[in-house]
């Protein structure tokens, strides 16, 4: 008698909707497709039309949204180890298999009805989403303010709405971005997957895909890890990952990264730069995406080109490579333009420049022009601009070399 186990599947809102929970959230406050697909995290995959599955807080989630609701399904990790159970069942004798099959028959029947693992809803899940997506920040208001200060941003933002900065686990964020050196998004995703598969704890298996928790600092710091990661194709990044984890544990302790959330931006950035493989861009990414430094502006070649092409920023115009000085000048330029949430605004322009989203720009522009005209009187009042049209506001040029007002560096 053969025993066929039901394979757990990725949840879909259209199937088994009772297993989902939701919270109020409009698309203008959060776009899952743009926020999770723009390269600030490498742990989420689109597993269905508008459905994203990934790991957050040591659990596996599937998220989707309707016009005014954010829907979420959290998988029970206890149901995740079917593959392990199946291997153990094969190793058992026929009698043991039959006894175990009787105990599991009712569970299998229930799963066959829903094709989705049972969700165990726990208190605090909505709070986790609010924290992860920083939903306490009013994104619509920020977009309005950035649009008032920057007509180019206003034009882009009519298409690329709802892009938020995530508040990721600092260890996961930093070590993921160490993998980004001279790399592209799809390959980075593969590296992060391999890192988790090799050193992280298995959490859940869905449609044959096993999801893993991000490894701990102690797991990454093990002396054998560098060789392991080199065999997996990490190259020189393998040493950076292992040595950075080891340095953090030996010199600072396991809670050091979390503690940098309470440290001023420039001090936190300089602290991160003491780690192997962490330059200005990686440090700024960690500061912005996990350490609560909303004014951190990561500058790579994409942002450098945007600054020159769309803002006529002269910083580094004679340079062939992105130096630390050019990095700081461009960051200061955008901080002066966009204010204390400059890093959030930068992410919108970065997303809009990605090849994967260029089709969005082919949308009809009539509505964009109507929106621009309708909002002009309010913009004039807020900015105290009299008798001027929005398209007469000049883009900043000469201010590129000026330093934004920042807190003194510690």
Residues carrying an active site annotation: 281
Alpha-carbon gap, residue 246 to 240, rounded angstroms: 10
Alpha-carbon gap, residue 228 to 217, rounded angstroms: 16
Locus of tokens 């959030």? 344
Alpha-carbon gap, residue 209 to 196, rounded angstroms: 13
Alpha-carbon gap, residue 3 to 97, rounded angstroms: 8
Q: How many CB atoms lie within 10 A of CB 384?
A: 6
Alpha-carbon gap, residue 404 to 401, rounded angstroms: 9
- Close Cβ partners of 154 (under 8 Å, ≥ 6 residues apart): 146, 147, 148, 372, 390
- Close Cβ partners of 190 (under 8 Å, ≥ 6 residues apart): none
Burial class of residue 71 in the structure, from the number of CB atoms within 10 Å of its CB (0-12 exposed, 13-18 middle, 19+ buried) = buried
Q: Where are the alpha helices (DSSP H) in 312-386?
A: 324-338, 342-353, 366-383
- Close Cβ partners of 304 (under 8 Å, ≥ 6 residues apart): 316, 322, 326, 330
HEC string of 48-115? Answer: ECCEEEEEECCEEEEEEECCCEEEEEEECHHHCCHHHHHHHHHHCCHHHHHHHHHHHHHHHHHHHHHC
Alpha-carbon gap, residue 11 to 148, rounded angstroms: 41
| Rg of the chain (C-alpha set) | 24
Strands 69-74 and 59-65, sheet pairing: antiparallel
Question: How many residues in the chain?
Answer: 410
Element (H, E) at 23: strand 21-24
The terminus-to-terminus CA distance of the chain in angstroms comes to 71
């Amino acid at each position: 008698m053969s025993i066929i186990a039901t394979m757990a599947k990725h949840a879909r809102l259209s199937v088994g909707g009772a297993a989902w929970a939701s919270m109020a959230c409009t698309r203008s406050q959060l776009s899952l497709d743009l926020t999770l697909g723009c390269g600030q995290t490498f742990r989420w995959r689109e597993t269905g039309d508008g459905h994203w599955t990934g790991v957050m807080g040591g659990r596996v989630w599937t998220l989707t949204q309707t016009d005014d609701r954010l829907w979420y399904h959290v998988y029970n990790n206890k149901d995740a180890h079917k593959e392990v159970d199946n291997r153990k069942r094969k190793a058992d004798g026929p009698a043991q298999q039959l006894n175990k099959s009787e105990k599991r028959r009712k569970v299998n029947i229930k799963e066959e009805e829903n094709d989705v693992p049972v969700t165990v809803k726990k208190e605090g899940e909505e709070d986790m989403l609010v924290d992860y997506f920083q939903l306490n920040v009013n994104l619509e208001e920020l977009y309005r303010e950035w649009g008032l200060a920057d007509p180019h941003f206003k034009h882009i933002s009519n298409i690329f709405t709802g892009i938020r900065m995530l508040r990721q686990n600092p260890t996961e964020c930093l070590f993921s971005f160490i993998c980004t050196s001279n790399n592209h998004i799809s390959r980075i995703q593969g590296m992060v997957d391999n890192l988790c598969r090799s050193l992280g704890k298995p959490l859940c298996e869905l449609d044959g895909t096993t999801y893993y928790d991000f490894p701990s600092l102690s797991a990454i710091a093990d002396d054998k890890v560098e060789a392991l990661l080199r065999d997996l194709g990490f190259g020189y990044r393998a040493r950076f990952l292992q040595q950075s984890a080891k340095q953090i544990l030996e010199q600072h302790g396991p809670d050091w990264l979390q503690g940098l959330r309470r440290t001023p931006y420039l001090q936190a950035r300089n602290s991160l730069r003491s780690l192997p493989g962490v330059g200005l861009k990686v440090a700024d990414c960690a500061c912005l995406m996990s350490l609560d430094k909303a004014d951190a502006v990561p500058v790579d070649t994409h942002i450098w080109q945007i600054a020159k092409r769309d803002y006529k920023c002269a910083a580094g115009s004679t340079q062939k490579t992105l130096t630390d000085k050019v990095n700081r000048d461009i960051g200061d330029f955008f901080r002066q333009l966009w204010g204390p949430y400059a890093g959030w605004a930068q992410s919108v322009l970065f997303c809009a420049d990605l090849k994967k989203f260029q089709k969005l720009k082919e949308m009809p522009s009539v509505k964009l022009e109507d929106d621009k005209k309708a909002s002009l009187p309010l913009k004039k009042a807020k900015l105290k601009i009299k008798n001027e049209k929005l398209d007469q506001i000049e883009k900043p040029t000469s201010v590129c070399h000026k330093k934004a007002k920042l807190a003194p560096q510690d």
